[in-house]
Amino acid sequence: MEYKIVERSAPGREKVEVLGETYEEGKPDSEDLGRWRQKLTSREEKLKYLQTGERYLYGKDWYGSEKRKNPA
């Protein structure tokens, strides 16, 4: 893989070489990506999926992706 190097000005220095983007551009191939309703068969599975997501984001015992004693 060939890396892209960009020259930028830095405070207190003239020019500095900085590593540029290291990812490969692209888009997902699958048309089914993000279609969770079709993947889950029963109503109970869909409700469990939604309740788990809401508990993760809005629950009182968890805050986002980390467990904390005091909310942010």
pLDDT at position 67: 61
pLDDT tier at 70 (50, 70, 90 boundaries)? Answer: low
Which pLDDT band holds residue 65 (cuts at 50, 70, 90)? Answer: low
Question: What is the dihedral sign for C-alpha 10, 12, 16, 22?
Answer: negative
Please, which residues bridge with residue 7 across strands?
17
Q: Where are the domains of the chain?
A: 35-65
Per-residue pLDDT reduced to its tens digit, 24-64: 777 777 777 777 778 888 999 888 888 887 776 666 665 55
38 in Cβ contact with 32 (< 8 Å) = yes
pTM exceeds 0.75 for this model: no
What is the b/e burial string over 13-37, where b = at least 16 CB atoms within 10 angstroms of the residue's CB? eeeeeeeeeeeeeeeeeeeeeeeee
CB 52 within 8 A of CB 40: no
What's the pLDDT score for residue 11?
Answer: 85
